[in-house]
């Protein structure tokens, strides 16, 4: 099977689908961040609508629940002037036994140009990308515990707006790193962008199986994990992806690893606190911290619109360029 990192690029090395941040060249990551920054409205300015995707159709296919990713993709597509199909899969013919790929073909026959897909299975987005027509693109909105590339990109944009120098950054990713596609995608993106110190902070049962493979440092206590860091990124415990891991009780987990005023007492005052959402109050974070002065959690949500606009605009432009290459050949 083709490597998704390669498969998501066209013959000229341009982004063709968005499947993973693993192996994504630094210049493409930076192009996405810069394009997204250009879409961020100045404070108090109303959001701008641009015609970049006028005449295009974007379909949201979410086989797993979502609040942030699904709605920000929809808002982003509308700000790019695209038509949007937000499939209600729970009421679709999937319930009559239709295969997921047949749903894809059906929507493609209606003229969908970009599919935004969330799926519980690792590798699902790459699977769909192999089935679409040459002028149709797939964007991974989260597949199993594998990847959530737009989350990592919006996280990188949020970090860059507070700490522009990635080469002098310490980041602590705290919580269920073992089952987290957000952690995977963030680690790949931040490593490529030059972050030298990435710590994964978790109890034994939620730690990555092989942190050294990803070039990150495992830390088993929160106090040590957050010492001198610039960014703390909390993660939700992914109970839906667990099998037989030994994990502490909710109370014990919250006491040891929950992000609270008490546990974050040693954090630098200028450090930022992030979380991809949804948060589980009283488990990995409390409301006081989630909405406190160091938190950028709602800024992450807003930045998600700009990142998703950027990715869709870049990919749509690249698909057009590829069609032009074909005509000239
Ligand atoms: N961060 C994130 O993916 O949130 P949703 O599941 O609400 O989309």
**Beta carbon of 150 within 6 Å of any ligand 1 atom:** no
Is the CB of residue 22 less than 8 Å from the CB of residue 187?
no
Neighbouring C-beta atoms of residue 3, cutoff 10 Å:
12
What pTM, to 2 d.p., does this model score?
A: 0.95
Q: Give the pLDDT of residue 201.
A: 98
DSSP classification of residue 98: -
Q: Give the pLDDT of residue 249.
A: 87
Q: Give the pLDDT of residue 1.
A: 58
Q: Give the pLDDT of residue 69.
A: 98
Distance CA 255, CA 203 (A): 12
Distance CA 18, CA 115 (A): 10
**Beta carbon of 278 within 6 Å of any ligand 1 atom:** yes
Is the CB of residue 101 less than 8 Å from the CB of residue 125?
no
User: Which domains are present in the chain?
Assistant: 4-147+302-328 (3.40.50.1370), 149-300 (3.40.50.1370)
Q: Give the pLDDT of residue 122.
A: 97
For ligand 1, what atom is nearest to the CA of residue 72? Answer: 8
- Cα(100) to centroid of ligand 1, in Å? 21
**Beta carbon of 120 within 6 Å of any ligand 1 atom:** no
Which among 7, 272, 328, 322 is positioned nearest to 155, based on CA atoms? 272
Q: Give the pLDDT of residue 214.
A: 96
- Cα(12) to centroid of ligand 1, in Å? 32
Which among 196, 262, 199, 270 is positioned nearest to 235, based on CA atoms? 199
DSSP classification of residue 147: B
- Cα(66) to centroid of ligand 1, in Å? 5
pLDDT in tens, the chain (329 residues): 579 999 999 999 999 999 999 999 999 999 999 999 999 988 778 888 999 999 999 999 999 999 999 999 999 999 999 999 999 888 899 999 999 999 999 999 999 999 999 999 999 999 999 999 999 999 999 999 999 999 999 999 999 999 999 999 999 999 999 999 999 999 999 999 999 999 999 999 999 999 999 999 999 999 999 999 999 999 998 777 666 667 778 899 999 999 999 999 999 999 999 999 999 999 999 999 999 999 999 999 999 999 999 999 999 999 999 888 777 76
For ligand 1, what atom is nearest to the CA of residue 141? Answer: 3
Q: Give the pLDDT of residue 244.
A: 67
């Amino acid at each position: 099977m083709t490597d998704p990192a390669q498969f998501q690029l066209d013959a000229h090395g341009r982004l063709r689908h968005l499947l993973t941040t693993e192996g994504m060249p630094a210049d493409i990551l930076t192009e996405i961040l810069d394009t997204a920054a250009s879409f961020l409205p100045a404070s108090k300015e109303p959001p701008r609508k641009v015609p970049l995707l006028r005449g295009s159709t974007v379909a949201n296919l979410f086989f797993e629940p979502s609040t942030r990713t699904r709605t920000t993709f929809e808002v982003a597509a509308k700000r790019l002037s695209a038509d949007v199909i937000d499939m209600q899969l729970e009421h679709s013919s999937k319930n009559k036994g239709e295969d997921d790929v047949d749903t894809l073909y059906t929507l493609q026959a209606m003229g969908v140009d970009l599919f935004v897909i969330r799926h519980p299975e690792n590798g699902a987005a790459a699977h769909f990308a192999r089935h679409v027509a040459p002028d149709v693109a797939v964007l991974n909105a989260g597949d199993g515990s594998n990847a959530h590339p737009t989350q990592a990109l919006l996280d990188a944009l949020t970090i860059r707006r507070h700490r522009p120098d990635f080469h002098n950054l310490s980041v602590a990713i705290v919580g269920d790193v073992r089952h987290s596609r957000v952690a995977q995608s963030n680690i790949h993106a931040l490593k490529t962008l030059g972050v030298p110190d990435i710590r994964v902070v978790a109890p034994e049962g939620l730690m990555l199986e092989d942190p050294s493979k990803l070039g990150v440092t495992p830390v088993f206590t929160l106090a040590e994990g957050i010492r001198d860091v610039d960014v703390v990124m909390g993660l939700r415990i992914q109970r839906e992806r667990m099998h037989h891991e030994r994990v502490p009780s909710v109370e014990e987990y919250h006491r040891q690893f929950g992000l609270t005023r008490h546990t974050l007492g040693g954090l630098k005052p200028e450090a930022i606190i992030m979380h991809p959402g949804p948060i589980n109050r009283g488990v990995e974070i409390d409301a006081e911290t989630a909405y406190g002065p160091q938190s950028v959690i709602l800024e992450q949500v807003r930045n998600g619109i700009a990142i998703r606009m950027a990715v869709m605009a870049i990919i749509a432009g690249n698909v057009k360029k590829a069609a032009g290459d074909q005509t000239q050949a």
